[in-house]
């Protein structure tokens, strides 16, 4: 196994640390504490992390309190949760390349033909039937869910079948959505029918929307290994129901929080975690950069599922903007109060260009 040999540059009298097998490890430095220092500077990932960590090497200068790693072939790894599942760390080049590959893919998805940049409006359906200039039919909703009444000559497609006349969608669960397709001349339009904050909404997605066609990308901080941190997952005895606000005045979202993530980033921190994808966790947060160099309302972050010992990795370099950073036609949630970090997270996506 390839590990890291580290020199810890500090203003204190203890000027250096070495991996076990080297003589100058201070006697009160446990294997776990040494591992934590090393892991914070690692450019690699553990086997249970689905995507490679993205970060810029922190090794270009020696500064107090920073770790200066170099790759070195050493003896067997110490038996700690940080090293137990570690793969060979990538080089500095692959480290940056991994992040670039990830962010390029994220940008392509954001600017997809029917992504949220294509949304032309958000319509809050009521019992009163209404027509809209960017969608066919007359729309309304009631206790049985959304309804569209298509006029003569109008049609939409749902699950590959052509629909005319009246279509009843049925009650929609909260945060769920359905998509119908409408051919508007030469443009194929997708219409999202969704349930948000207890209301049924309609969002047409036109590929020719100027918000999409004029999109030139989102700037981001250069990936930095200091913002890849080990985190301990502490599950609650019973998942908590958490109500948060929204960028839409008066709208609230309710999420299930299964536990708390605790970690160190210029001091002890914690984040309330929501259920994520594929068994992972999802975090909404704000920090000292919010409204300065990053979007004011929130940023979003996926966290890999914790391992059997409750450890995972938070990679703030992969913090992304939610749709509300780009369009007024979004209903994005705000972070819970617990997730407003009193530290500048200078990592991940910045304010949109």
> Please, which contacts does 264-271 make with residues 24 or more away whose CB atoms are closer than 8 Å?
264/36, 264/40, 264/229, 265/227, 265/229, 265/316, 265/341, 265/343, 265/345, 266/343, 267/343, 269/341, 269/343, 270/338, 271/314, 271/338, 271/339, 271/341
Residue 30 within any structural domain of the chain: no
Residue 226 and residue 136 share a domain: no
Residue 265 and residue 248 share a domain: yes
Residue 251 within any structural domain of the chain: yes
Residue 320 and residue 287 share a domain: yes
Q: Which domain holds residue 320?
A: 219-339
Mean pLDDT of 254-274: 97
Whether the model pTM is above 0.85:
no
Residue 149 within any structural domain of the chain: yes
What does the alpha-carbon distance between residue 217 and residue 117 come to, in Å, rounded to a whole number?
11
What percent of the chain has a predicted confidence (pLDDT) above 70? Answer: 74
Nearest Cα residue to 209 out of 351, 109, 112, 324: 112
The count of domains in the chain is 2
Residue 223 and residue 335 share a domain: yes
Residues 6+ apart with CB under 8 A from 238: none
The answer to whether 124 and 199 are in contact (CB under 8 A) is yes
Residue 303 and residue 231 share a domain: yes
The answer to whether 327 and 116 are in contact (CB under 8 A) is yes
| Tokens representing residue 292 in the block | 């300065």
Residue 168 and residue 128 share a domain: yes
Residue 305 and residue 285 share a domain: yes
> Is 48 a residue whose pLDDT tops 50?
no
Residue 227 within any structural domain of the chain: yes
What percent of the chain has a predicted confidence (pLDDT) above 90? Answer: 71
> Is 133 a residue whose pLDDT tops 90?
yes
Give, in degrees to the nearest 5, the angle at Cα 175 between 170 and 178: 45
Where is the domain boundary, 197, 213, 229?
213
Residue 178 and residue 227 share a domain: no
Residue 177 and residue 226 share a domain: no
Residue 67 within any structural domain of the chain: no
Where is the domain boundary, 213, 237, 263?
213
Where is the domain boundary, 179, 213, 247?
213
Residue 353 within any structural domain of the chain: no
Residue 229 and residue 198 share a domain: no
Mean pLDDT of 65-71: 30
Residue 308 within any structural domain of the chain: yes
Question: What are 154-173's pLDDT values in tens digits?
Answer: 999 999 999 999 999 999 99
Q: At 88, is the pLDDT very low, low, confident or very high (cuts 50, 70, 90)?
A: low
Question: Strand 166-168 and strand 161-163: pairing?
Answer: unpaired
End-to-end CA separation in angstroms for the chain? 43
Residue 165 within any structural domain of the chain: yes
pLDDT of residue 62: 31
What does the alpha-carbon distance between residue 124 and residue 161 come to, in Å, rounded to a whole number?
26
Residue 140 and residue 201 share a domain: yes
pLDDT of residue 277: 87
In which order are the strands placed within the sheet that holds 268-275?
A: 299-303, 281-285, 268-275, 253-264, 228-244, 311-315
Question: What are 174-223's pLDDT values in tens digits?
Answer: 999 999 999 999 999 999 999 998 999 999 999 999 999 999 999 999 99
Residue 320 and residue 231 share a domain: yes
Q: At 282, is the pLDDT very low, low, confident or very high (cuts 50, 70, 90)?
A: very high
SS (H, E, C) the chain: CEEEEEEEECCCCCCCCCCCCCCCCCCCCCHHHHHHHHHHHCCCCECCCCCCCCCCCCCCCCCCCEEEEEEEECCCCCCCCCCCCECCCCCHHHHHHHHHHHHHHHHHHHCCCCCHHHECCCEECCCCCEECCCCCCEEEEECCEEEEECCCCCCEEECCEEECCEEECCCCCCCCEEEEEEEECCEEEEEEEEEECCEEEEEEECCCCHHHHCCCCCCECCCCHHHEEEEEEEEEEEEEEEEECECCCCCCEEEEEEEEEEEECCCEEEEEEEECCCCCEEEEEECCCECCCECCCCEEEEECCCCCCCEEEEEHHHCECCHHHCCCCCCCECCCHHHECCCCCCCCECCCC
Nearest 10 degrees: Cα torsion 136, 137, 140, 146: -70
């Amino acid at each position: 196994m390839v590990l890291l040999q580290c020199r810890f540059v500090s203003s204190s009298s203890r000027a250096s640390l070495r991996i076990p097998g080297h003589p100058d490890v201070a006697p009160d430095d446990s294997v776990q504490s040494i591992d934590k220092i090393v892991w914070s500077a690692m450019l690699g990932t553990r086997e249970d992390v689905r995507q490679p960590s993205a970060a810029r090497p922190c090794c270009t200068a020696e500064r107090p309190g920073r770790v200066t790693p170099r790759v070195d072939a050493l003896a067997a790894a110490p038996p700690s949760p940080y090293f137990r599942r570690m793969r060979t760390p990538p080089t500095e080049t692959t480290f940056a390349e991994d992040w670039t590959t990830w962010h390029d893919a994220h940008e392509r998805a954001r600017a997809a033909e029917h992504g949220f940049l294509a949304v032309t409006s958000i319509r809050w359906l009521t019992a009163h039937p209404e027509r809209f200039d960017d969608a066919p039919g007359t729309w309304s909703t009631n206790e049985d869910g959304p309804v569209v009444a298509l006029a003569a000559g109008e049609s939409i497609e749902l699950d590959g079948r052509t629909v005319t006349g009246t279509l009843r969608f049925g009650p929609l669960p909260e945060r769920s959505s359905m998509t119908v397709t409408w051919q508007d001349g030469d443009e194929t339009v997708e219409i999202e029918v969704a349930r948000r904050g207890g209301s049924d909404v309609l969002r047409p997605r036109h590929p020719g929307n100027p918000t999409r066609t004029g999109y030139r990308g989102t700037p981001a901080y250069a990936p930095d290994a200091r913002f890849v941190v080990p985190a301990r997952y502490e599950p609650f005895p019973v998942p908590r129901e958490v109500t948060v606000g929204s960028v839409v005045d008066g709208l609230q979202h309710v999420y299930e929080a299964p536990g708390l993530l605790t970690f160190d980033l210029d001091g002890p921190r914690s984040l309330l975690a929501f259920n994520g994808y594929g068994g992972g966790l999802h975090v909404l947060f704000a920090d000292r950069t919010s409204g300065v160099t990053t979007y004011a309302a929130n940023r979003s972050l996926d966290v890999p599922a914790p391992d059997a010992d409750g450890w995972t990795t938070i990679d703030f370099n992969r913090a992304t903007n939610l749709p509300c950073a780009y369009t007024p036609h979004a209903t994005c949630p705000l972070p819970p109060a617990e997730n407003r970090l009193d530290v500048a997270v200078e990592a991940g996506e910045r304010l949109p260009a």
